[in-house]
Amino acid sequence: MSAEIIKKASKWLSESFDLETRTEVKRLMDSDLELLTECFYTDLEFGTGGMRGKMGVGTNRINKYTIGQATQGLANYMKKQFPNSSQMSVVIAHDSRNNSPLFSKVCADVLSANGIKAYLFSDLRPTPELSFAVRELGCTAGIVITASHNPKEYNGYKVYWNDGAQIVAPHDTGIISEVRVIESADEVNFSANTELIETLDDSIDNKYLSQVQSLSVNGFKEEKKNLKIVFTSLHGTGITMVPQVLRNAGFENVILEETQAVPSGDFPSVESPNPEERSALSMAIELAEKEGGDLVLGTDPDADRVGMVARNSDGELTLINGNQACALIVYYRLEQLKAAGTIPANGFIAKTVVTSDLISNMAKAYGVKLYETLTGFKWIASVIREQEGKEVFLGGGEESYGYLVGDFVRDKDAVISSLVLSECAAWAASKGKTLIDILDEIYLKFGHFRERLISVVREGKSGKEEIQAMMNGFRTNPPTALMGSKVVSITDILEGTVTDTETKSTTALGLPSSNVMQFTLENGLKFTARPSGTCLLYTSDAADE
């Protein structure tokens, strides 16, 4: 136990912290030095994606004080950006996680104490609705309290700017700088000005739902009526929107997994509320088998990502991965526009660098531009913002189960995606096909791609160091071959370069810097490694000849 950690922890015994916090810190100091180290060995990083971590006391945990510090930093940054503004405002939403309502209230208190109007949703809401609300209310920024699909011990804090998208340069680094100069709880103004806090009723809900409904295609009415959809919200926010959206669109057979329809930060029926994992959808799959469901949809706790299982022509329920779902959404969107003769000449699709190149082939075939961005939907949103008024965003997404159609939301949206995927299934049924048949149709037209994701989990201080060491190893001693095939090019997005391994020539990449490595093999396989919180993710993507 270092003296520095004891010194940091001792500061949390002062009267600046509430009794419950002081008592827990004292307990750790007396009886659990290992956990005390984890809680205080570093400050919880406020990065370009906000903060995410385990809840608890300490500088390396999500709690009312680290949340308050982040919000004070945001308030300070906003004041510097808009010194002459008479009234700045921020809208705040939260998911179903434990302590999320408390942390949302802390955000509203700190903002209002700093003279900034705070709009606070009365209850849990999907993250994409927050993105919509920022734009609808004309807010300066937005905050979401969520840790997405992480286990129940986690929570987090994400910041959105006035375009409704998560912060990117220069605002991300500017806010980070302001957060980092706040060294103690004494520098955070927690004294709420209740006159500047407004609770949002269902008016934003209704406007958001109306916009989502505008994406629905007026067709396949009989197929929509007959299609059996089993939906699970995995104890999260999807229950507030998805069933209603589907029923409004004409899907009469929406069957809820009732146990998981109850919002709960304990996520009692799943090990992890991650719709990427078949185990998280197992109860919904069992219900679909019992009820003869055609489609299973499952949203993560903050309802920005959706997992899907579809029945094939042999009657078997088949898991659809993120790249496949993205391909279905893009294909359905482009086919509907093509049938109506309304594909805009200035339309574009967007995907991330780790999303299947199948999407690129589809965009090319339909004559629409493709933008490829860094991982993280904020980069797709950044392209939408940059092209606003010049080009039209048609749709797109990322392999990690996040997709978007339309531009009234500037983040991945599981509510919209659930609607579009369900309509795609109804469209398939109108042609006597299943979604699996539509995937085969896509492969025949644009190439058959296969992909695989491997997640290596390493937690805590040692885990963070191990992940960094693995990434450093890829840079200092890159592999010359993988899976028996020669590496022909190495893309280092951190350095912004692409290197031909044969000629050793290097070209500039033209993307913002990010800690991602990609290796392209002689056999066409593309292998990507990137750190993501407590994980190192390896993805691969290749077209079959």
Distance CA 359, CA 528 (A): 17
How many C-beta atoms lie closer than 10 Å to residue 328's C-beta?
Answer: 24
pLDDT tens-digit map of 224-243: 999 999 999 999 999 999 99
Please report the pLDDT score of residue 452 as a whole number.
78
Please report the pLDDT score of residue 259 as a whole number.
97
Please report the pLDDT score of residue 464 as a whole number.
83
Please report the pLDDT score of residue 534 as a whole number.
62
Please report the pLDDT score of residue 536 as a whole number.
61
Distance CA 40, CA 58 (A): 5
Residues 103/214, Cβ–Cβ less than 8 Å:
no
CATH class, range 42-201: alpha beta
Please report the pLDDT score of residue 454 as a whole number.
80
pLDDT tens digits in sequence order for the chain, 545 residues long: 588 999 999 999 999 999 999 999 999 999 999 999 999 999 988 876 789 999 999 999 999 999 999 999 999 999 999 998 889 999 999 999 999 999 999 999 999 999 999 999 999 999 999 999 999 999 999 999 999 988 999 999 999 999 999 999 899 989 999 999 998 899 999 999 999 999 998 999 999 999 999 999 888 999 999 999 999 999 999 999 999 999 999 999 999 999 999 999 999 999 999 999 899 999 999 999 999 999 999 999 999 999 999 999 999 999 999 999 999 999 999 999 999 999 999 999 999 998 999 999 999 999 999 999 998 899 999 999 999 999 999 999 999 999 999 999 999 999 999 999 999 999 999 999 999 999 999 999 999 988 777 888 888 778 888 888 999 999 999 999 988 899 999 999 988 899 999 899 999 888 888 888 999 999 888 888 888 766 666 666 766 64
Q: What is the CA radius of gyration of the chain?
A: 24
Distance CA 190, CA 306 (A): 36
Mapped onto helix, strand or coil, the DSSP state of residue 63 is: coil
Structure-block tokens of residue 467: 């992940």
How many C-beta atoms lie closer than 10 Å to residue 98's C-beta?
Answer: 16
450-544 CATH fold: TATA-Binding Protein (3.30.310)
Among residues 148, 356, 400, 418, the one annotated as catalytic is 148
Q: Give yes or no on whether 42-201 and 214-446 have one common fold.
A: yes
Residues 6+ apart with CB under 8 A from 76: 114, 178
214-446 CATH fold: Alpha-D-Glucose-1,6-Bisphosphate; Chain A, domain 3 (3.40.120)
DSSP H helices in 138-185: 171-180
148 is catalytic: yes
Structure-block tokens of residue 209: 């739902």
- Strands 89-94 and 141-145, how do they pair? parallel
Residues 191/108, Cβ–Cβ less than 8 Å:
no
Structure-block tokens of residue 232: 């699970």
Please report the pLDDT score of residue 545 as a whole number.
47
Please report the pLDDT score of residue 525 as a whole number.
87
Structure-block tokens of residue 290: 């019992």
Please report the pLDDT score of residue 535 as a whole number.
65
Residues 6+ apart with CB under 8 A from 56: 24, 39, 62, 63
Distance CA 351, CA 197 (A): 38
Distance CA 100, CA 144 (A): 9
Please report the pLDDT score of residue 47 as a whole number.
74
Distance CA 87, CA 264 (A): 36
Please report the pLDDT score of residue 373 as a whole number.
94
How many C-beta atoms lie closer than 10 Å to residue 405's C-beta?
Answer: 21
Please report the pLDDT score of residue 50 as a whole number.
84
Instruction: Give bridge partners of residue 373 from the DSSP assignment.
Output: 352
How many C-beta atoms lie closer than 10 Å to residue 508's C-beta?
Answer: 9
Residues 6+ apart with CB under 8 A from 193: 112, 113, 115
Domain ranges across the chain:
42-201, 214-446, 450-544
Structure-block tokens of residue 387: 């092209």
Q: How far from each other are the two terminal CA atoms of the chain, in whole angstroms?
A: 57
Structure-block tokens of residue 284: 């919904």
Distance CA 133, CA 89 (A): 12
